[in-house]
């Protein structure tokens, strides 16, 4: 029977009933609606991209598009994570507004 879990940040033992934090992270690739122009012909570029993709495992290819992470952290690791992320907190840095893309 398991009576504890471990912090994913520092590996500290976290007994049942102790304060701990569940962090869920969703990472997804983004597309800005712009396709770059290439010096080489498009069919060669596509062939190269397919060759690169064929060398990846299914898990590696999927991770380049989408990942979901769940971490269990102790209070000190949670605080350290929040400190690391503080420059990105609301109002701390210039707010980025996503401009909608019209495809015609």
pLDDT at 23 over 90: yes
From CA 75, how far away is CA 81, in angstroms rounded? Answer: 10
Look at residue 94 and tell me if it is in a domain. no
From CA 67, how far away is CA 74, in angstroms rounded? Answer: 23
Look at residue 62 and tell me if it is in a domain. yes
- More reliable by pLDDT, 32 or 12: 12
Q: Which residue range is the domain that position 42 belongs to?
A: 4-88
**Pick from 64, 69, 56: nearest CA to 29:** 64
Look at residue 74 and tell me if it is in a domain. yes
Look at residue 99 and tell me if it is in a domain. no
- State residue 92's pLDDT score: 52
Look at residue 101 and tell me if it is in a domain. no
Look at residue 13 and tell me if it is in a domain. yes
Give the model's confidence band at 101: pLDDT under 50 very low, under 70 low, under 90 confident, else very high.
low
Tally of domains within the chain: 1
Look at residue 56 and tell me if it is in a domain. yes
């Amino acid at each position: 029977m398991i009576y504890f879990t471990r912090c994913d940040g520092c590996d500290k033992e976290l007994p049942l009933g102790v304060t701990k934090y569940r962090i869920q992270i969703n990472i997804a690739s983004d597309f800005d609606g712009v396709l770059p122009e290439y010096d080489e012909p498009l069919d060669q570029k596509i062939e190269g991209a397919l060759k690169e993709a064929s060398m990846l495992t299914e898990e590696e290819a999927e991770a380049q598009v989408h990942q979901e992470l769940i971490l269990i952290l102790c209070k000190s690791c949670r605080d350290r994570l929040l400190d690391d992320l503080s420059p990105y907190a609301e109002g701390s840095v210039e707010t980025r507004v996503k401009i909608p893309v019209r495809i015609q």
